[in-house]
Amino acid sequence: MKPVVTVEEMRAIDTDALAYVDEQTLVERAGTAVATWALRLMGGAYGRRVVVVAGKGNNGADGRVAAARLAARGVRVSVIEAHDAPDRLAPRQGVDLVIDAAFGTGFRGEYRAPAVPAGVRVLAVDIPSGVDGDTGAACGEPLRADLTVTFAALKPGLLQGDGPLLAGRVVVADIGLDVGRSRIGLVEDEDVVGLLPPRPRSAHKWQSAVAVVAGSPGMTGAAELCAHGAYRAGAGMVRLGVPSTPDAPLPGGEAVSTALPPTGWSEDALAMAVRCRAIVVGPGLGRAETTTADVRALLASAPAPVVVDADGLFALGTGDAAVAALGAARARVVLTPHDGEFTRLAGEEPGADRIGATRALSARLGVVVLLKGPTTVVAGPDGRVLLAAAGSPRLATAGTGDVLAGVIAAFVARGLEPLEAAALGAHVHGAAAALGPPEGLLAGDLGDLVARWLSGARRG
């Protein structure tokens, strides 16, 4: 996992570093890294011209060191003080790059960057000036960078809010700081390969079996999508229980489908799940009062970790009622809310600080909470957070969340702890969607794309 460090943590890391290295050395290292990447971005030094917008703090000092390094290589460099910068940088013949070193991660207030001539690329130092280092919220009118060179570790503001749009490509420069205290990590492809156990040679279907309790009359599609997602993510057996009337058709597909009673189905569902390694409850169940009682009864006696999604989240209620509903099962539960479901569970919207909000709800409920979004936040009760940034607007279609619930359950059944299963599942879910069409991706496509992505990752 790539470490991600909050603004407060970064301040503490910087302070600790002064015990073994002086501040000017750190500035020299940072500025040299910026200059190196500037040369790469421009394709060399000969005949190049750079404008550096520099503030008064360390961010500006990094920019000035970069300016000196570039000048030593023969680049024509102009340094403009941030507080004196014009509204618009005058179009200069042959300007190749603007280095944004006005303000860093600790900036508060509004920043209106000077407008940059069309076609001139921008390199941001640590984070685009005016972007909040923790939330990614843009304050004022920051420049949109083509490249951001950040130091020691990623910052949350580069991964959420306006940050990803304004930061462009992000590279992490190692300047000799110890970021081991970070409790936030970004999931990458190699983490899936390294952490997700392959099927052993002696594998049999029950070793990674998943039970899915989902669907209701007219809503069996959600159940089928969830089961298909679990199979394609490596479940050896999927047992699907659908509360329905005896004459109602059951979903097709590979899952072993069972009709559960329309009400009072929890005992039958528990019997169905007795040999399974993970359970999903919620997609398409409906919101009847009897469903609420059955979901809570299932949680109270579940023989395996449970992924609670969609209508299962509604059944938990809000606030203290949700805590009571989760009961002793909470240590093995994953909740997968979108923003609206999160608001109902927490009693307030996640707000700009999605990491902090997800951490707080996870600690309060004592469960793993996965907050869906362009960057999905997964928090555990111990304060650890994993981020999955592979998502895209392609996933903004009905049913994709049902597939995700199945993928997470399959990863739990294959041996991952709930926190890792949720985060790796979200990463694979997003990465797989990128293999599909840019327009018109269907939730029904996703399961096969998940299997394709996983197979390619193993080969790669």
pLDDT-derived band at 225 (thresholds 50, 70, 90) equals very high
CATH topology of domain 2-182: Rossmann fold (3.40.50)
Alpha carbons 258 and 329: distance in angstroms, whole number: 24
For residue 69, with 0-12 CB atoms within 10 Å meaning exposed, 13-18 middle and 19 or more buried, which class applies? buried
pLDDT tens column, 25-45: 999 999 999 999 999 999 999
Alpha carbons 24 and 336: distance in angstroms, whole number: 46
The DSSP letter of residue 119 is: T
The helix (H) or strand (E) run that includes residue 195 is helix 189-195
CATH homologous superfamily, domain 189-459: Ribokinase (3.40.1190.20)
Judge contact between 35 and 75, C-beta under 8 A. Answer: no
How far from each other are the two terminal CA atoms of the chain, in whole angstroms?
18
Give the domain ranges of the chain: 2-182, 189-459
For residue 118, with 0-12 CB atoms within 10 Å meaning exposed, 13-18 middle and 19 or more buried, which class applies? exposed
Residue 92 is predicted with a pLDDT of: 61
The reported pTM is: 0.94
Residue 152 is predicted with a pLDDT of: 96
pLDDT tens column, 112-156: 999 998 899 999 999 999 999 999 999 999 999 999 999 999 999
Asked if the domains 2-182 and 189-459 are classified in one and the same CATH topology, the answer is no
Residue 93 is predicted with a pLDDT of: 64
Q: What is the mean pLDDT of the chain?
A: 94
